Amino acid sequence: MTAIAVLGTGNIGTTLAGKWTAAGHQVTLASRNPDAPALRDLAASIGARTATHADAVRDAEVVVVALPGDAVAAMAAALGDAIDGNVVIDATNNLGPAEMNSIATIVRHAPGAVCARAFNSLGGENLADPDFDGTQADLLWCGPDGDPGALVERLITDVGLRPVRVGGLDQLSTVRPFDRPRSFATHRLVGDGRRPSSGTGSALFLAGATANWLHGVGDHFAERSLSWKLLAASSIGHIMGIIVVIAGVTTGI
């Protein structure tokens, strides 16, 4: 059993909390208003407890940040010392800023936190029901290996997902929601987590994955100004993503 503090009581936070209590974990839903009747009722229905953010993280082994992206800085500033040394899972998405994750903000206030990025790329409906016609959905994540990584993977598995670690925090750009055309294409083609079942779907899925890889490689190295060829790879990947979107919509996959 793991003591988990879930910061955030929206769809993602409450869905994860319900999955983890069902798996036998001790879960606290953290809110600025932990005594709100609706939250109390929801927590009671899934076997969780409620608390303020500060109280929730005090005895937690794992802290899951499922807050709106623009609320993370204030939380990290207030709780930095308390979460320093904890496994902290960033499930946020910052819509607008260049970086959609909140890892840098968390580490700035809690440099000893062992951070992972997970649960940000699927919607609450997918987390609630991650089985698609008998196929278990995958969840990409990045972060630590060793015992902390094993703990993160166990929590992913307890949600019903198959954990796929893509590397350390240098792979943050890989673990993101479907925010670009190529990602939307892949998302559409696999049906919110489904693997393609037809030959056409498989071919388009492969094209989308290739686009994702090319654009990712270009992004990674172009930021370091290493080669104009890599900039070209990034652009080609982006164009391929747009083509796959059109193909996916046209074929109805």
Helices 199-222 & 228-251 angle (0-180, nearest 10): 150
Which runs of E-coded beta strand occur in 66-192? 87-90, 114-117, 131-132, 135-136, 138-141, 162-165
pTM score = 0.72
Reference 56, options 109, 11, 97, 6; nearest CA is 6
Query: What is the C-alpha separation between 114 and 120, in angstroms, rounded?
Result: 17
113-141 tens-digit pLDDT: 999 999 998 888 889 999 888 889 999 99
Distance between CA atoms of residues 228 and 123, nearest Å: 36
How high is the pLDDT of residue 95? 78
Burial of residue 63 (number of CB atoms within 10 Å: 0-12, 13-18, 19+): buried
The domain covering 3-171 belongs, at the CATH homologous superfamily level, to: NAD(P)-binding Rossmann-like Domain (3.40.50.720)
Tens digits of residue pLDDT in 160-216:
999 999 999 999 988 877 543 333 333 333 333 334 333 444 444 444 445 444 544
